[in-house]
Amino acid sequence: MKTTFAALVAATITMAAPAMADLTVPNLSYRTGPYAANGIPYADGFNDYFTLLNERDGGIGGEKVQVPECETAYNTEKGVECYEATKGQAALAYNPLSTGITYQLIPKVTADKHVLYTPGYGRTSAANGKVFEWVFNYPANYWDGASVAIKYLLSQNGDDLKGKKIALVYHNSAYGKEPIRTLEELSKKHGFELSTIPVDHPGQEQKSQWLQIRRDKPDYVIMYGWGVMNQVAIQEAVNIKFPMENFIGIWWSGSENDVGPAGEGANGYKSISFHGVGSNFPVYADLQKYVFDAGKAAGPADELGTVLYSRGMYAAMIISEAIREAQTMAGHSAVTPEEVRDGFEHLNLTEERLTELGLPGFAQPIAATCEDHGGPGSAIMLQWDAVAKTWGPVSDWITADADVIDPLIAEDSAAFAAESGIAERCK
Amino acid sequence: MFYREAGDFKTTYREDSQTFPIKFDRLRFYAVLAVAYGVIPLFINDYWANAVFVPFLIYAIAAIGLNVLVGYAGQVSLGTGGFMAVGAYACYKLMTAFPEVSIFIHVLLAGGVTAVVGVLFGLPSLRIKGFYLAVATLAAQFFLVWLFNKVPWFYNYSASGQINAPDRTIFGVFVTGAQTSAMAKYMFCLVMLTIVAVLARNLTRGTVGRKWMAIRDMDIAAEIIGVNPLTTKMTAFMVSSFFIGIAGALFFSVYLGAAEVGEAFGIQKSFLILFMVIIGGLGSIFGSFAGAAFLVLLPVLLKNLLVGALNWPTDLAAHIELMIVGALIVIFLIAEPHGLAQLWRVAKEKLRLWPFPH
């Protein structure tokens, strides 16, 4: 009895996902836990774009794409398990949507030769392709985000932030700590006063942090939050009557789910984004027709066109374009992870290509090279209209301050290279 | 018939005081060792190592450590996550400061550092007991996590506050870092677990363990018969923290490779390991193994069953999994309040009498 049970247990544990088609892009998502509100629309957008490609075009280059999903709950241990469970299926690219899991996976993907694509999150210095061969984080990273926010504030203040007080409210994790170095440099350069206020995981309780803000009266608050922390922070800002137009969130702190609970009070809240929003892009008509109307959508219909849904779709779009590039380069359609890495490195996403994809003006063009895995580093500023319940752009594309960020990236990636004994590539 | 003291003749004192005095126990122990060292390494792959065996082995070390404190010495602790963090950060600092020293030594030293910290936070146990002590150790948990977040020296001033385990070898084989093979990870953790388990088993059978149990059962009576509460409680905290520190060091360096204190060593970790000890059985080394296996393997098993075999949506499976594990814990503790170890004890009683139950 005991042995049969043990055998059953062993059989069940080894049972992997069903047999896979040629192209596999695992979706390490989280639909449970304190980060689910943000994880669900992102994962749905990611899945739906690949469903669209399969339904409308028959996959990429004639190969269907399989997207096995694995629940990580934003937890690094489960993330490792998901990676190990899916890597045997010749996974072409990983997009775990978690900076903590990204840090875990960087050495692993380098050893196992899988692509790690972390748009707008992860380890910022992975933008340096000379050190991080298998990691890509274009179009923008955390440091770009911080610089874009400061540049926007400069433009609002006649290019002068001297004597202004800026507070950074951040998730007390690798993710939230990332921008501190950049903001410190920028505060030296522009002469503003920076204060940093950490919020511990999961961030449901922020009374003391906002009391501190109320006492210090900073001119601007920048937030690097995620999950339930965003909703709570925006609500607390409303409670202390902080002027919402002076409150700027990074792209992970600016979705409909974050501002929704604060209702009318959230009107005027700003957030950065590295892609356009709204459901006016032609691709959404296709998504409606081939995915939602066909009943193949991963989530409810009202997600279509929301910020995080679009961002998940953006990540899927980039991965599919990299696979397409890899197929062209390799000359066959069943590409391997190594070939897809080359596709990522030679990705040339132009305005014309975006228009062909039904996303005109949705994002900035990307021309990746061996050295440059970080992309253009530009973003737009959005503002929330609580009456119309829409995000609208209030700035043009703002490009990050490369004078400040490039040396920081060089320094951090050099430290990683020294720590891990990596020789620089691209010579 | 199989499991009995009778007929198992011992002719020397050495035989009489061996770790497993009963033959059946001894054979079973050797069989487990043979499978663990001889069979599993031949078949292990990355998934089995990283999702099942390595976490199980490390949690078993931590559970043995906590069981020494809670199960044997009766001192309730909610600071396990914090002590694991001490082990992890000590290991990280040692690995980066002295790269030429073997990782094996570093893991043991990390345990030593944790033992010192554990004794420090154990001092309140001389004055307070029960729930009050739990609160004091809870303070240790929050203080330590805060400390590792706040002081950049602990994470070598890295921009993100993450610690990353550099590549280290033992006899030329990688045991930390990305190039580590599944077998190397498994064997390193297994050797550590064997050392810890044999040490713990023998400590609890000897004077030290008996003193711990005397303090646990009634501290005033123990003091009257000559057990010194200061040294007893401090040794319990020291030994327990040493084991937990080793578990923390392995958890960071071998299993995760990169860690962030709030996420990897938060309060949930303290509770998880406490649950392992309670479900496994307080005051039992076997119980520590059983509890760790239950809480590590069951979620993986359910996940593979629901998502892999039945093709359920991942979110539904994750929620059902929480409910099933939760319900099992409740049902189990109602049916068997003394944990999984008690089932084993009952089974042994049955084996003693079998096939004549009266």
φ and ψ at residue A386, rounded to 5 degrees = -75, -20
Q: Chain A closest CA to B314's CA: distance in Å? A: 6
The tens digit of pLDDT for each residue in A201-215 reads 888 899 999 999 999
Asked if residue B166 has pLDDT above 50, the reply is yes
Q: At what angle do helices B182-205 and B229-250 cross, to 10 degrees?
A: 170
Dig out the tokens for B340 from the structure.
């999984």
Instruction: Quickly state the pLDDT bin for A20 (edges 50, 70, 90).
Output: very low
- Cβ contact, residue pair A76, B262, below 8 Å: no
- Cβ contact, residue pair B52, A13, below 8 Å: yes
CA A211 to chain centre: 30
Q: Kindly report the CA angle at B7 between B3 and B9, in degrees rounded to 5? A: 115
- Cβ contact, residue pair B50, A84, below 8 Å: yes
> Which residue in A356, A323, A358 sits closest to A60, CA to CA?
A323
Helix, strand, or coil (residue A272): strand
Side chain identity at A375, as an amino acid letter?
G
Residue-by-residue DSSP string for B76-88: ----HHHHHHHHH
Q: Which of A7-21, A143-157, A245-259, B283-297 has the weakest average pLDDT?
A: A7-21
Helix, strand, or coil (residue A60): strand
Asked if residue A21 has pLDDT above 80, the reply is no
A16 inside 8 A of chain B by CB: yes
- Cβ contact, residue pair A81, B50, below 8 Å: yes
In whole angstroms, give the CA distance from residue B246 to residue B106. Answer: 9
ipTM above 0.90, yes or no: no
Structure confidence at residue A8 (pLDDT): 54
Q: Chain A closest CA to B188's CA: distance in Å? A: 19
In whole angstroms, give the CA distance from residue A212 to residue B95. Answer: 38
Domain residues of chain A, as ranges? 18-141+278-375, 142-276+379-407
Candidate from A40, A201, A419 with C-beta closest to B262: A201
Q: Kindly report the CA angle at A142 between A139 and A143, in degrees rounded to 5? A: 100
Asked if residue A252 has pLDDT above 80, the reply is yes
The tens digit of pLDDT for each residue in A115-134 reads 999 999 989 889 999 999 99
The pairing of beta strand B163-164 with beta strand B168-170: unpaired
> Which residue in A269, A257, A342, A263 sits closest to A302, CA to CA?
A257
Chain B residues with CB-CB distance to A415 below 8 A: 158
Asked if residue A2 has pLDDT above 50, the reply is no
CB A134 within 8 A of CB A157: no
Stretch A11-16: mean pLDDT: 50
B301 inside 8 A of chain A by CB: yes
How far lies A194's CA from each of A147, A250, B158, in Å?
A: 14, 16, 19
B262 inside 8 A of chain A by CB: yes
Instruction: Quickly state the pLDDT bin for A17 (edges 50, 70, 90).
Output: very low
The tens digit of pLDDT for each residue in A162-201 reads 999 999 999 988 889 889 989 999 999 999 999 999 998 8
φ and ψ at residue A117, rounded to 5 degrees = -110, 115
Nearest CA in chain B to A419: B166
Dig out the tokens for A96 from the structure.
């775990």
B320 inside 8 A of chain A by CB: no
CB B104 within 8 A of CB B250: no
Asked if residue A250 has pLDDT above 90, the reply is yes
Nearest CA in chain B to A75: B263
Nearest CA in chain B to A28: B314
Chain A residues with CB-CB distance to B166 below 8 A: 419-420
In whole angstroms, give the CA distance from residue A287 to residue A92. Answer: 23
- Cβ contact, residue pair A107, B178, below 8 Å: yes
φ and ψ at residue B100, rounded to 5 degrees = -85, -15
In whole angstroms, give the CA distance from residue A115 to residue A135. Answer: 6
B309 inside 8 A of chain A by CB: yes
Q: Whole-number mean pLDDT of chain B?
A: 90
Domain residues of chain B, as ranges? 21-353
Interface of B with A in 19-58 (CB under 8 A): 46-48, 50-52, 55
Instruction: Using a pLDDT cut of 90, give the percent of chain B over it.
Output: 57
In whole angstroms, give the CA distance from residue B97 to residue A333. Answer: 48
In whole angstroms, give the CA distance from residue B146 to residue B138. Answer: 12
Instruction: Quickly state the pLDDT bin for A301 (edges 50, 70, 90).
Output: confident
Asked if residue B208 has pLDDT above 50, the reply is yes
> Which residue in B165, B204, B186, B172 sits closest to B64, CA to CA?
B204
Helix, strand, or coil (residue A115): strand
Stretch A274-303: mean pLDDT: 89
- Cβ contact, residue pair A173, B158, below 8 Å: no
Q: Which of B150, B176, B263 to mutate to test the interface with A (most CBs of A within 10 A)?
A: B263
Structure confidence at residue A13 (pLDDT): 52
The tens digit of pLDDT for each residue in A312-369 reads 999 999 999 999 999 999 998 889 999 999 999 999 999 999 999 999 989 999 999 9
Asked if residue A112 has pLDDT above 50, the reply is yes
Chain A residues with CB-CB distance to B262 below 8 A: 172-173, 200-201
Instruction: Quickly state the pLDDT bin for B189 (edges 50, 70, 90).
Output: very high
Q: Whole-number mean pLDDT of chain A?
A: 89
What sign does the dihedral A93-A230-A48-A145 (CA atoms) show?
A: negative
In whole angstroms, give the CA distance from residue A174 to residue A171. Answer: 8
CB B209 within 8 A of CB B203: yes
- Cβ contact, residue pair B46, A36, below 8 Å: no
A84 inside 8 A of chain B by CB: yes
Chain B residues with CB-CB distance to A112 below 8 A: 178
Nearest CA in chain B to A78: B51
A17 inside 8 A of chain B by CB: yes
More confident residue, B354 or A413: A413
CATH code of A142-276+379-407, in short, is: 3.40.50.2300
Q: Is B156 left (phi over 0), alpha (psi -120 to 50) or beta?
A: left
Stretch B87-112: mean pLDDT: 94
What sign does the dihedral A230-A232-A235-A241 (CA atoms) show?
A: negative
Of 1.20.1060, 2.60.40, 1.10.3470, 1.25.40, which CATH number belongs to B21-353? 1.10.3470
Nearest CA in chain A to B311: A17
As a three-state string, the secondary structure of A171-193 is ECCHHHHHHHHHHHHHHHHHCCE
Asked if the peptide bond before residue A139 counts as cis, ω within 30 degrees of 0, the response is yes
Interface of A with B in 356-385 (CB under 8 A): none
Interface of B with A in 79-138 (CB under 8 A): none
Asked if residue A1 has pLDDT above 50, the reply is no
Q: Chain A closest CA to B125's CA: distance in Å? A: 29
Whether A18-141+278-375 shares its CATH topology with A142-276+379-407 is answered: yes
The pairing of beta strand A165-171 with beta strand A220-224: parallel
CATH class of A18-141+278-375: alpha beta
Instruction: Quickly state the pLDDT bin for B244 (edges 50, 70, 90).
Output: very high
Asked if the peptide bond before residue A202 counts as cis, ω within 30 degrees of 0, the response is yes
Cβ neighbors of A319 (< 8 A, separation 6 or more) are A25, A92, A93, A95, A117
More confident residue, B310 or A289: A289
Stretch A20-30: mean pLDDT: 82
Candidate from A73, A85, A173 with C-beta closest to B318: A73
Chain B residues with CB-CB distance to A73 below 8 A: 318
